[in-house]
A and B are shown apart, each in its own frame.
Chain A
């Protein structure tokens, strides 16, 4: 009797699993452990709404994420839905699923993404993904250091000159001429924003470039302005010294620098700081041009997925209003999907006294950076090495950019010929 009952239970169990035939899809993303909670919240909300689909998360730190993904892609075993940057370079290699047909069939509201932000996810006229957030940079400032120096806080009237004089006033040196407190710290890879604020550009077209335009007088002046802050004013630590001194995050949270330009992901770290701080818009260029970074990482689907229907269902959820509201609420990322709900969720994420609306207004100033398959190689072998010579003072911006232009243009021609 007992044996019979056991058998019955087993049979029922097998039947039950069959009836609830679940599709499992994998979702990969990177991030610090502190960034896990909103991702887990998205999974929980999705599985509650779609009991027939199970999400298996594949989480890795930024440093090893892309190597792992490369290996999986090469083996045809890429996760169904992936968090990714540099989307065109992957799309060009055929590993991503074009989404335009699915978008049209479902009427997915792509118009709600920040203007231009979808361009980062397109290649050859097709759409391959949706942004999760915008990598908006703002000016964080240490109120205590401004008060001590008797300076007015940064606001939306600031231009480069205001930034420069404030940074200089907030820089302190010891008797040997070594800086013990910097006015401002910058991130090396944000040079395109400076060029935009100065009224210049990197290429004639960021998506399908034919000419390198960073040798224009406007772009040269912008690069020279940053170099002068580092080399002449010494109010900004050199990018190389920051390897030892610490990143913008570490320098600011330890009170060794009065202002930094960085993104919203730093807020939780700065919340631990022992001083008062707030955020302000990036200063405008000399002629009043405002610019910020446009685009951020986003979600894509693998072209090798065995469950494209389920993957699309999840992709819509995580990139659309539901998923975006969860991420916005965490306050770590500026939402790319602009709806009243995501905006309100982000603005109210805290901490108190921090003007989060600055992130939303600055996102509207986003300028699209270069996005084409050969860009990574061009940047790493020509542009970054060329700028190194400006940052260390061996060349002026005019010399370095003039030398770079023919090399970059040759690479563009070579890439176009392939």
Chain B
């Protein structure tokens, strides 16, 4: 990048003050104000309020009762919370890597400039912009054990006892994960595609002259050059996956036997079905802490594998 960033000493030695600069600072804050106010009212205040609520018993209607850390203590012993933590972890670890690898492969295929690229790019992106409810309802039909497309297909292939996809505790979570991967590939694909198009062609040319094969070019040029994109996609996907909710809400209701119940769905149940706002807020803070730690770790490790040009 050619833009020069003033160094620390430069900034300090630059003559301070001056009416012009003060006016510019004010103007800058003026432009930032709408966003800052929105952030303050709709993000920061609720987050702080949730911390306060998590230390109370509150059923929404009567005034909150201060209970200190009781909600967090109960949470630590709640077998259902352990179960939803486990489900969410399996979901995150299962969907994010698979989804990213598939998205990268699709992006590379679409980056070849073959005929039909435009169509396939739109096709892969379609699920991202389709209503989650519509997707879940169609996939319910696909998964239907007796009448679904999937089992009819397996039956034709000679599988006499195909899985009871959404009704068995063994297959319900994997079923939901498969659907999620399909649904989210498009988002990562578009980002990877943009990343791929930003890799300068001259690097490939140089490598080709040096005798690098397609696999070597992928490994030593594409992968390192894509690391900033990969990092971004990874962070966003991890955060999104920890917050998985729609699938459990629409497809399975968290069932069977809580096999697809997730952290956010359980928060929803406690808050808006059982009216345990304090308990739900405590869960929300635990989720926040988990996502925060995971994200901080990701940023810390960034310098080891992400190459900025």
Contacts and interface: CB of A to CB of B under 8 A. Distances in A.
B80 A241 contact: no
Interface residues of A, number: 30
B273 A389 contact: no
A20 interface: no
Nearest to A93: B61
Contact of A381 (B80, B144, B164, B168): B80
Interface in A226-240: 238, 240
B166 A394 contact: no
B269 A176 contact: no
B275 interface: yes
A244 interface: yes
A89 B79 CA distance: 24
A416 to B, nearest CB: 15
B168 A380 contact: no
B273 A95 contact: no
A194 to B, nearest CB: 19
Given A240-B167, A388-B256, A73 B61 contact: yes
Given A176-B155, A243-B140, A386-B257, A392 B273 contact: no
Contact of A385 (B62, B141, B145, B256): B256
B229 interface: no
B283 to A, nearest CB: 13
B49 to A, nearest CB: 14
A339 interface: no
B153 interface: no
A384 interface: yes
Contact of A394 (B80, B144, B155, B168): B168
A178 interface: yes
A244 B140 contact: yes
A388 B61 contact: no
B79 to A, nearest CB: 8
Nearest to B160: A177
A89 B275 CA distance: 10
A240 B141 CA distance: 11
A394 B164 CA distance: 11
Interface string B138-164: 001100111100000001000000001
B257 A380 contact: no
A377 B59 CA distance: 13
Nearest to A377: B274
A94 interface: yes
A381 B269 contact: yes
Interface in A32-56: none
A394 B275 CA distance: 31
A254 interface: no
B290 interface: no
A390 B164 CA distance: 14
B66 to A, nearest CB: 15
Contacts of B141: 244
Interface in B160-215: 164, 166-169
Interface string B264-284: 000001001111100000000
Contacts of A70: 60, 272
A392 B61 contact: no
A36 B86 CA distance: 47
Interface string A309-341: 000000000000000000000000000000000
Chain B interface SS verdict (over half): loop
A389 B257 contact: yes
A6 interface: no
B224 interface: no
A89 B62 CA distance: 13
A394 B258 CA distance: 14
A84 to B, nearest CB: 14
Given A73-B61, A176-B155, A244-B140, A389 B145 contact: no
B258 A392 contact: no
B255 interface: yes
B60 to A, nearest CB: 5
A191 to B, nearest CB: 15
Given A74-B60, A385-B256, A386-B257, A392 B140 contact: no
Nearest to B155: A176
Given A73-B61, A93-B61, A240 B147 contact: no
B257 A385 contact: yes
A87 B80 CA distance: 27
Contact of A384 (B80, B255, B274): B255
Interface in B63-95: 79-80
A93 B257 contact: no
Contacts of A385: 254-258
A179 interface: yes
Contacts of B146: 178-179, 241
A376 B60 CA distance: 16
Contacts of A407: 79
30 contacts: A67-B272, A70-B272, A73-B60, A94-B61, A178-B146, A238-B167, A240-B166, A240-B167, A241-B144, A241-B145, A241-B146, A241-B147, A244-B141, A245-B147, A376-B273, A380-B269, A381-B80, A385-B255, A385-B257, A385-B258, A386-B257, A388-B167, A388-B255, A389-B169, A392-B164, A392-B167, A392-B169, A392-B256, A394-B168, A394-B256
Interface of B: 59-62, 79-80, 140-141, 144-147, 155, 164, 166-169, 254-258, 269, 272-276
Given A70-B272, A391-B167, 14 more contacts: A93-B61, A240-B145, A240-B166, A243-B140, A244-B147, A376-B273, A376-B274, A377-B273, A380-B274, A381-B258, A388-B257, A389-B169, A389-B256, A392-B167
